[in-house]
Structure 1
Amino acid sequence: MRPAAARLPDALLAAAASWAALAPLSTLFDSYSWTGPAVLVSLVVVVTGLLARLVIRRGLLVLLVQLLAGLEAAVLLHGRGHTWFGLPTWETVRAFNNVLFEGRMTLVRYAAPAPTNRGIIVGLTLLTLLFVALIDFCAVTRRSPAVAGIALVAAYLVTATNSGAPLAWYYFAAPAVLWLVMLARTGTGSLRRWATLVARPVEGDRPRDPVDSFADVARNIGIAVLAAAIAVPLIVPHFPTRFLVDGLGRSSNGTSDAGFALSTTLDLKRNLQSPSDKPVLTYRTSDPSPSPLRVAILDEYVGNGNFRTDSTIADRAVSRGTPLTALVPDALPPGLTSILDAVPSDNIERAEWQFRDGELLHPRIALPYGAASLDVDGQESVREYANGQVEVEDTAKRYTVTSVEVVPTTAMLQESRVSDGVFRGWNQETVTPQDLAIDPLATGALSQVLADVVPPGATDIEAAIAIQDYLRSPAFTYSLDLVPVAEGEDRVAANPIVHFLATKQGFCQQFAGTMVMLARQFGIPARIVVGFLPGRLDKGERTVLASDAHAWPELYFEPLGWLRFEPTPASRSGAVPAYAREGNGTSSATASSSTTASASSTTRRAQPGVDVPTPQGQTSLDRPIWQRVGDIPRAAWVVLALVLGIIGSLVLPVTALLIRRRRFAAAADDAAMVELRWQEMIRRIGDLGVRTPDALTPRQIQGHLTERALLSREPAAALGRVVTAVELARYAGPGTSFADPAKDVDAVLEAVDSSRSLVPRLRARLLPSSATAALGRSGRRIADLPRAAWEPVRDSVADLVRRRR
């Protein structure tokens, strides 16, 4: 059994159909960062399949080679640091297992669009590997695109059943059209091989290939069915959404009775605030001035202004399936009981909260600061994590909370020295190195701001208040419209944090994220909290709307733990906590210096390059190569891709031309030249889709080509002259001279070419069989190199053994 052909057009078509079916996945996640690794792995799978089909006979072995190559590519992309010279080990398996568990927890916890963390990226990369390899195996290696259609529709349904809202029509149309094209290619090829398909040419006319008539009927049917599939859902009633993955599919836009999904992945380049007036929850409380409600804690900085929940949070759970009331009944929250004796009773504030009509989708729940006990109607358990985040099993419609909040004293605030590295209560369950991570591109700008704003010798609380007051000063403007990054800016000036410090315009996300970075640069652990402002009070009851979504920083102070600060201007956030006000916990000198620094900052120009210093002595050549590559404009990459694509498309045609010229130049005599012309004509007509059985004589081939290629009178006569020349060349005596039938061969080729449709003609020019056969031979020679190198060694060893015997 001969190895299959590479089938490049079919492979590219199958890959395009695979990605058309995977494209709707983009609606389930909040960024496209997963597509880069997935595309690279897809290319590895497709190229490996092309090469493997040239040298391997069995389709399952081709699939196995594709899977192994794709897996190795995924390991090189995602398993760095866990491999043995690039090869996977047991450590790689364990690392992938941990990352995939993170992705699984993300699918369970988040409503669409879910955060695109590392677990999601790795999981989607592996999913793409399996999916593209499966489609390639069915549609290309096994030439069964109908079977591949089952996998394509399954991939589409996975997204459709988890999006929570109807997908756009083109998400269905794109894979459906590509699948129909794959079916058409395979069906047309099979139809051309039918022995009963014999069409008689009409004299004086060049009739159309009858296969095209069958193709037209099939095409019209396919278009009609596709149009009906898109139009019918617009007419019939929608049924309630049913989700395949618990958590991922929940969406307030769905046809199901879903609630509000608050994004817990903070991107400083996007707007957290929702313009919706949809109520999220309603509550009553005994606290006369309630603080914002916490929902999620974002303590891991992932670069480019992006924060997310620490990926190791699942490994640091305080409790699983245990009610909070069993952990701390009527007591202070965990971490505060150790300082009870140091806090005056007047500084301990207790409050009761009754929440109802909660629409915040699980596992999220909105809680006040210092939540000490929680009772959720209809749920027996919650999950509490070491960083204070709480999750529930189902949407919390009604629940009650008892809160115990400690109002820190001035002495307690001044006692904290964590910026000096003094962590008397340092605990990996409370503060981790993630809470001190800063953006390396923003280091220069952060240091400059701290030098201007924080006076020398300031304590932690003095520095925190100075930073907060600086961001709340008139120098900054609260606006939902961000100043765009100027074209041509370098990576430092374009960094979201540096850009915000330069333009001084943004909303709560910019203010919170920047204060976190400034506090960390000073040495104070800091993190971002996502939640809601207290809401609107009406007749003793507060209503929280979706538009009340807010973000603020928390800074770590010993022995108090995490304290809330509010750098966002008062027009949006309201007043700051009492302990974070200027003059409360700070010396007068510090307050004066902080005020002076803030006032002086208003006179500085908010322009890139002035407020934002660049690293001293650094030039573009000093930066790593990947950073310099990243500065290349997108247009240049497009031009480069086009040039490389054009050059790549010419490789096989040029190779075929060189092979043809070499063969003709090596012809020994006229008879050999005639035979080469004949063989070249048969091969090129076969490239156009009219294949000739090997067992036929030249006269039989003449009749076969006349009927199959629909040759009219003049091309048929030219073909007869070529056949006569071949017979003379084969059977004439030695030394007989023959005329070169090159003109008649060209006339036949031109006639056959003009009767073909566009696709076969393009395929014949871009993928000539002489070049692909040469590529296959080269591949087999390369594949045989290990065997050829081993056989002499094996024979030498065998000879040595025989001699010793």
Structure 2
Amino acid sequence: MRRDRAPLSRLQSVALSGSAFLLLVSAVMALGPLLAGAGWWWLCAATAAAVLFGGAGLRAIRVPASLVPVGELGVLLLVLTLFFGGASSFLLLIPTADTFGLFGELLGGAQRTIQQQSVPAVVVPPLAFALALGTGLLAVAVDLAVHTLRLPALAAAPAMVPILVPGFLIEDGAEVGTLVLAAAAFLLLLRVDVRVRRRAALAQHDDDEVRITAPQRMPIGSTLLPTVGLAAAGLVAASLLTASTPSVSTSLLLGTGGQGALFARGVSPFLDLGRDLRRPDAVPAFSYVARDGDRPYFRLLTIDRFDGEVWGPGERRIDGDNAVAEFPTPTGLGDEVARSQHPIDVTVQQLRTTWLPLPYPVASVEGLDGSWFWDRGSLAVRSADSDTSGQQYRATMLEIEPTAEQLRAAGDRIPESIQEFTALPEDVPASIRELAGELGARGGTAYDRAVAIQEYLRGADFSYSVEAPVEEGYDGGGLDVIAEFLEQREGYCVHFASTMAVLARELGIPSRISVGYTAGTPTTKRVENVSVVQVDSQDLHAWPELYFQGVGWVPFEPTPGRGTVPDYSRPGASETAPAPERVPGTPAPTPGARPDLDPERQLSGGRTSAATNDPAVWPLVALALVVLLLLPAAVRSWVRRVRVRRIRRGDRGADAAWREAMATASDLGFPAGADDALTPREAAEALLDELGGVDEGARRALHALRDSVERARYGPPGTAAPASEEALVELVAALRAVASPVARWRARLLPASLLDTARAGRRAAARA
């Protein structure tokens, strides 16, 4: 590879670095639709500036060119240490072994946050680290192209990375304004490069005391128009790619189809809940210590969307402002409802999920590792970059104690923001509508109707069974399953919870379903004279929550033989109702395998998120990647066909034949074909030396092509210089026969002559 060796001044080097910096930070702006806020961009800009201008500084002190990229990687390490190393570093800049361990943890957290977050994602520290690291590496690649290789056009390749990413993740791809800005920055880089190289070449000639004769000046269009054309082609290509490439997911940053593990991967949470309940051996999930003697349910997540077949969680993204240090007042809770706060210390054992097991509601959570945020609608807590494995934390439970009278006083009032939780499909089976009407007639208020539904499902006609739904084929939570369950009257918590939620909605009462754990079983172990309560996989549970204005979301317990019936929901409850009676719990926990859980899966058998598990998505993505890989081969084939047509038309055919012969030689790895400084006669002799022994036919073909191009270039005007297509075909066949199989494949997929053409064009522009 020949390189322009005219040295650059410090100011010229800084000018190129500044143009490269503008290109990179403009390209990084394309990630804006994927990320919340703007702080991440400033971090990326600071990292890019440190690396690129740090490289300029290294050149200013005459560091060898081959060592500058290594120095830039060192600068990147110092920047990452300064921003993310914290107390693990020495003097905030020097990384230690602990710093590299911290970087590894941040990369692991970045991978999890990419899998777990929705678009636009909250830029938590692990994700910020990944962005800074990626920007720094791209900056090194851009600098390598601009300064070391002196091929600034190649800087478009690393700059295209952040521009193309949105096209794979969201439907709209990168914003048009960002594409235009990046194209303008690329144009600027190319123009600055032309000016800098020209001045450097003139300065070198002056230093050598060589007399410079001013050449005829070429029109500005001879250099500007190709530059504009190149940038326009890149802009069009980026636009087409981002617009036509199918997105991996419209809701998740990377599109894994779930917000982390909750139930068995790839399987419906409702069905897997039943599978865990049917396990012969319980698996320890977590334990807790409640010094006030509380025995609450622990909710993981709330599912509130129902389309008739599938219950699923709401599509609300993580909000970075909703830190768990303080929670808002629960939706709909009035000041007149009694409440008190109770601390609960939780230690997670073999539960691994991005949703945190918590009582509902809580006032605060402390002691968590990672970034955790509460959901604005349900107050469920999930992580952006971590999971529950090994967590120890304190939750301050907000115990709500509504009375039956307060619930009755709520009446049928439903705020507009809660109306969506009464939605049902139009095709509700007649048996469900009739039962809802019959139960609704038993109460005068929404609260009385809710108690009637719970009383009906807990009646003697219904029994708890985890086996019957599987044996009879009606497991799940859809309308058809509910209708069959009401006929069979055997099921487990999934069926009771989904049935009460649907009946409540049919009667106009907002409802949703919580998935989590019942209170667990006290053990003989004690902490500060307080019994430790163990919760295991057989405590998994689902229960409905109904909304009453002035009280908020209130849990009910329609499943017989499970959990605790709330005081306020007992038939005939009053303000002096007796204390709730605990139903016998599940067997004591025993060690077992870790349950892997996934709450974002849709809740019907075998159905998963269509956005990320559509079998057509990944083949299309693979096809797009194959197209990108084959693009150089396609361009080279097009150039070859253009030259052959010129030969056949007699349009400077001798020159076209010679260029195609030398391009083929360059593609196959013969240096003579890539050296445009050689005359045709010199190039022919050098190529024969490189080929070694070739047959006489190939030698005659090479000489014929050489003689034709010499007559065309150096002969008097009007000299006929016909080109022989047969000679070109014979010479190309001989070159391919001599080359190795690897060289032939490389010539097809990564033709070096394309870079030779780009370098020649740059030199011509510099000479202008």
What TM-score, normalized to structure 1? Answer: 0.45
Relative contact order: is structure 1 or structure 2 higher (C-alpha 8 Å, sep ≥ 6)? 2
What TM-score, normalized to structure 2? Answer: 0.47
